[in-house]
A and B are shown apart, each in its own frame.
Chain A
Amino acid sequence: MPIRTSIGAVGEKAANTVERIGYFSRFVVGVLRSTPAVFSRFSLTLREVYFAGVFSLVIISVSGLFVGMVLALQGYETLSIFGATESMGVLVALSLVRELGPVVAALLFASRAGSAMTAEIGLMKTTEQLKAMEMMAVDPIARVVAPRFWAGVISMPLLAAIFSAMGIFGGYLVAVKLIGIDPGAFWGQMQAAVDVRHDILNGVIKSIVFGIAVSAIAVYQGYAAKPTAEGVSAATTRTVVTSSLAILAIDFILTVFMFRGTGL
């Protein structure tokens, strides 16, 4: 009997997982099918870009600045061993545009804007606002969910670019103003080594993919949240945890494909 019970439990978990994946897939398809409606009333999406993107600017900018400054300090210690401190600009820029910019900005975006999206949609569900919309013959997926999803997708690469720019500026402050590295070498080597297509474009692609993942997870968790205080709280936590893990896993996969065979 215990074996039968545990086999049954495994089967039930597997069935639940498949059901959740199926529900998530149908949900995402529903959101994508609403895309024409979203872009025909772009003001709704712009409003969400303001809430998700503009309100994230402070945390993204300040974090980018400090990450860049720390990167320069740490890089200086290692590069000075090899007498290569002039390459500081390359180190800071490549680290940021390839990896840290897209990844850290996405993690911060998931915590700041993704959790807010989940909580907002979850509370709308709890207070029956989504049901009220349905009864007014207004599709909540098209009116509430899809604009937030696309706002996240649009905001993410812009925030990642701002993060990288602020990081490079932070690196410049430490490397040139604090340590005294020649500014010509700092900017010149960076300009020579950073490739638009190979480095910057790949970073942008990463941030777009992260934007899709974080936004899809955030709006789904809000829409599927149990309509109770505990349900919304649990959904918000799931958004941050699931998004963070998804970002790191996707980053690994994308990095393997983007930089394989190039000697990195």
Chain B
Amino acid sequence: MNPTLSPSNQIEIDNVFFGYGARQILKGVSLKVPRGSVVGIMGGSGCGKTTLLRLIGGQERPASGRVIVDGKSIPDLDKSALYAARSRMGMLFQFGALFTDLTVAENVAFPMRENTQLSDELINSLVLMKLNAVGLRGAAQLKPSELSGGMARRVALARTIAVDPDLVMYDEPFAGLDPISLSVVGQLIRKLNDALGLTSILVSHDVVASLKIVDYVYFISDGRVVAEGDPESIRASEDPFVKQFVNGFPDGPVPFHVSAKDYRAQMLSPSAP
């Protein structure tokens, strides 16, 4: 599937530049996410993957370029319009970002209590349904501190889909998970996307887990899209960057060493590094 040919895209990012001060993070990124698909954004740590999600969610504004979500230009929205757009989005943060003073059930209920006028009885029923969908109905009364990393990620997933968003963004959903939890979270992302008719963006550097569930992948390096394709074409790619990333080679287009002074000269220098 090539998203550029899709007649209806949930997200269109066009020639986006963004930086923190003098440090340029994104240098002309363009990509499209078709409705109903799971699109992966991959790249090394610090390449700008999470920044891209923050731009889509309107938490940052690009220096230039367009960020269109569901037909709306996100950087041009005022606060109330942005919050209205966010009420149709969900975001799963890297470590869950659960509210530590609330129970699991209260965490899942939070967006419903804040953004809807539903009765307590209905919210309680919906919370049980969402927790059942991620297999954690039995953990409803636990506090986040009592959960394992995988369970916390699943609770956060239940909270993310609590208000039935159109778009869900996953920021490193596999980070720090054991193989079983990783597989469970991956399956949940795919199944929830298809069952609920969502559009999903998956930011990860876990190539193996991500390629199992995504429809299309963009690779980002040094603030640019350097490769893209469906999982089969990515696995078969001869592109040096993609090969290094997919196979985990320590050296290649992404060098092992950070740019530094001459090693010999620095070792012989009396000054500290």
Contacts and interface: CB of A to CB of B under 8 A. Distances in A.
Interface of A: 127-129, 131-132, 134-139, 143
B114 A131 contact: no
Contacts of A143: 114
B93 A132 contact: yes
A220 to B, nearest CB: 20
Interface string B79-104: 00001101101110111011110000
20 contacts: A127-B95, A128-B93, A128-B97, A129-B97, A129-B98, A129-B99, A132-B93, A132-B97, A134-B59, A135-B57, A135-B86, A136-B111, A136-B114, A137-B83, A137-B111, A137-B114, A137-B115, A138-B111, A138-B114, A139-B83
A69 to B, nearest CB: 38
Contacts of B99: 129, 132
Contacts, number: 47
A219 B84 CA distance: 26
Interface residues of B, number: 21
Contact of A135 (B59, B94, B98, B100): B59
B162 to A, nearest CB: 9
Tell which of B87, B98, B114 has the most Cβ of chain A within 10 Å: B114
Interface in B154-211: 163
B114 A135 contact: no
Nearest to A144: B99
B97 A127 contact: yes
Contacts of B110: 136, 138
A117 to B, nearest CB: 13
B48 to A, nearest CB: 17
Interface string B95-136: 101111000000000110011000000000000000000000
B61 to A, nearest CB: 14
A131 B86 contact: no
A131 B98 CA distance: 11
Q: Return the 3 tightest CB-CB contacts between A and B, nearest first.
A: A132-B97, A128-B97, A137-B83
Contacts of A138: 110-111, 114-115
Nearest to A136: B111
Given A131-B93, A136-B111, A137-B83, 13 more contacts: A127-B95, A128-B95, A129-B98, A129-B99, A129-B100, A131-B97, A132-B91, A132-B97, A135-B86, A137-B84, A137-B114, A137-B115, A139-B83
Contacts of A139: 83
Contacts of A136: 86-87, 110-111, 114-115, 163
A15 to B, nearest CB: 14
Contact of B86 (A127, A128, A137): A137
Nearest to B156: A132
Contacts of A137: 83-84, 86-87, 111, 114-115
Contacts of A135: 57, 59, 86, 89-91
Contacts of B87: 136-137
